[in-house]
Amino acid sequence: MTAQQTTRARKAGFAAFVGTTIEWYDFYVYATAAALVFGPLFFPSDDPVAETAAAFATFAVAFLVRPLGGIIFGHIGDKLGRRRSLVITLMLMGIATVAVGLLPTYSDVGILAPILLIALRALQGLAVGGEWGGAVLMSVEHAPAKSKTFYGGFTQLGNPAGALLASGIFAIMSRIGDDFIRDGGWRIPFLLSIVLVGVGLWVRYRVEESPVFAEKVEGRKQSMPLAFALRSNWLPILLGIGLLPISTGGYYLATTFATSYATSPNVGISETLILDAMTVASFVEFLVTLPIAWLGDKWGRKRVMYLGLITSVATFVPFLLVMPGRLEPLVFLLASLVRIALSGTYAPIAAILAQMFRPQARYTSIALSYGVGAAVWAGFSPWFATLLVGWTGSVWSVLGMFTAMAAIAAVCTHFAPQHSDEAPVTESFTARTDTTEHTIR
């Protein structure tokens, strides 16, 4: 790899990091607000559980439309280029997020408030549905074969960075006063998005188009990338969906649901404490994501994924169980350990998913796989976990669900094919699960 190629790879990785940081910041600002204030502000009820469940239902709306975003922006990315698609997704996310910060609440305009909130959440879902897959491809397709997991980790680094910014801002605001966030302070993180989007657009315009798109796709474009993806990539798309229960759904159980559960009347941990714990955990995850991605190139992506799945279960169980005891040091420690473990399932997933598909219709395939997977596993996990606790009266039901999700991910990881970008592009696809010299583990 030449020095110029290395520079391009680093620039693409940095641009992916900046862009996904902004996208995930916007996403997690909404998730945090949904856990803390959106229930009483937009869905007032005499039942706090019903308020929270309603707020999490709007949280799920974004995941339901993510596959549509993947189809729309995957089509743009496969026909017009990865970079052009990513610029549009960033602008769309920024507009939707700032608009949420300007919304009137239920007490101001009644039922119109939650309707507008749901509509803007849907726009966020469309944006993220196209963002992640494109950012992954820009970083992985610029990277050399032996370092694809590491450079794919730059895309994944945006997740903890965005979560760190989101939870950090809410943690700071929680110290201003008990009612500051509810009385309008919740709007501040949404309005700040306009500044971040401006920075992200400047960075993205400085990155060159993916070399894989330019060299292998440009002259072999499909008129309908979605049709090609469903015809040729249907099996890896299904396996990709099955890879994601813990990488996506488990993450929201350990963050959004855990925040709501910790601050519920039955547990009674203060908002400040749990937000501080989540902020520290996000920082720890930020520190370990790239080293774990680097290990994916050294040990094998799948091995790191298996290790992450096992340790995620081993840390998530005690994390929820210690909360009622209000043992603050353990809450902080386990919140961080869970995020380290989850990084083992999240850091390598970018390269694993990207290399499951041939270059043609790859953007559509990975965006569809990730979008549907996120809708199935992440969109409803906090909502369903909240209902499970209400139905059973025990958090053990949530722990059982988490363990089952990890088992599904392990099976699909085993069967996930991995292909090299150096191989010639063909019109047909045959699923392979071997690890021969022609594939990348």
pLDDT tens digit sequence for 366-396: 989 998 998 889 878 888 898 898 899 889 9
Note whether 284 and 339 are within 8 A (CB): yes
Is a pLDDT exceeding 90 seen at residue 351?
yes
Please give the pLDDT value at position 424.
Answer: 52
Note whether 100 and 192 are within 8 A (CB): no
- In this structure, of 57-71, 366-380, 413-427, the range with the lowest mean pLDDT score is 413-427
For the four alpha carbons of 331, 334, 339 and 342, in that order, the dihedral sign comes to negative
Is a pLDDT exceeding 60 seen at residue 440?
no
Of residues 271 and 338, more confidence is placed in: 338
- Candidates 3, 36, 22, 16; CA nearest to 264 is 36
Angle at 114 between CA 108 and CA 118, to 5 degrees: 145
From CA 346, how far away is CA 24, in angstroms rounded? Answer: 14
- Mention every residue, 6+ apart, whose C-beta is less than 8 A from residue 438: 420, 423
Residue with tokens 């070399």: 211
Give me the mean pLDDT over the 7-15 stretch.
Answer: 86
From CA 236, how far away is CA 408, in angstroms rounded? Answer: 15
**352-386 exposure pattern, b = at least 16 Cβ within 10 A, e = fewer:** bbbbbbbbbbbbbbbbbbbbbbbbbbbbbbbbbbb
- Say which DSSP state 422 is in: T
Note whether 365 and 229 are within 8 A (CB): yes
Distances (CA, A) of 441 to 161, 305, 434: 27, 11, 9
Of residues 267 and 407, more confidence is placed in: 407
Please give the pLDDT value at position 303.
Answer: 96
Q: Which two tokens stand for residue 389?
A: 């606790």
Note whether 141 and 127 are within 8 A (CB): no
Note whether 32 and 167 are within 8 A (CB): yes
Q: Which two tokens stand for residue 326?
A: 């209000």
Dump pLDDT digits (tens) for 105-134. Answer: 999 998 899 899 999 989 988 988 888 888
Residue with tokens 């930020």: 286
From CA 358, how far away is CA 356, in angstroms rounded? Answer: 7
Please give the pLDDT value at position 218.
Answer: 56
Helix, strand or coil for residue 264? coil
Q: Tell me the pTM.
A: 0.81
CATH architecture for the domain at 3-415? Up-down Bundle (1.20)
From CA 74, how far away is CA 72, in angstroms rounded? Answer: 6
Q: Where are the alpha helices (DSSP H) in 205-324?
A: 211-212, 225-232, 234-243, 251-252, 258-262, 271-299, 301-322
Is a pLDDT exceeding 90 seen at residue 409?
yes
Please give the pLDDT value at position 217.
Answer: 58
Please give the pLDDT value at position 211.
Answer: 78
Dump pLDDT digits (tens) for 305-331. Answer: 999 999 999 999 999 999 988 788 999
From CA 354, how far away is CA 150, in angstroms rounded? Answer: 13
Q: Is 224 left (phi over 0), alpha (psi -120 to 50) or beta?
A: beta
Helix, strand or coil for residue 361? coil
Dump pLDDT digits (tens) for 141-200. Answer: 888 888 899 999 999 898 889 888 988 898 889 888 768 988 899 999 999 999 988 888
Note whether 158 and 400 are within 8 A (CB): no
Please give the pLDDT value at position 302.
Answer: 95
User: What percent of the chain stands above pLDDT 70?
Assistant: 93
First to last CA, the chain: 20
Note whether 158 and 277 are within 8 A (CB): no
Give me the mean pLDDT over the 201-208 stretch.
Answer: 82
At 267, phi and psi to the nearest 5? -105, -50
Please give the pLDDT value at position 433.
Answer: 38
Residue with tokens 């290790």: 307
At 122, phi and psi to the nearest 5? -65, -40
Dump pLDDT digits (tens) for 268-290. Answer: 888 888 889 988 998 999 999 99
From CA 54, how far away is CA 240, in angstroms rounded? Answer: 29
Rg of the chain in Å (alpha carbons): 21
- In this structure, of 32-36, 301-305, 351-355, the range with the lowest mean pLDDT score is 32-36
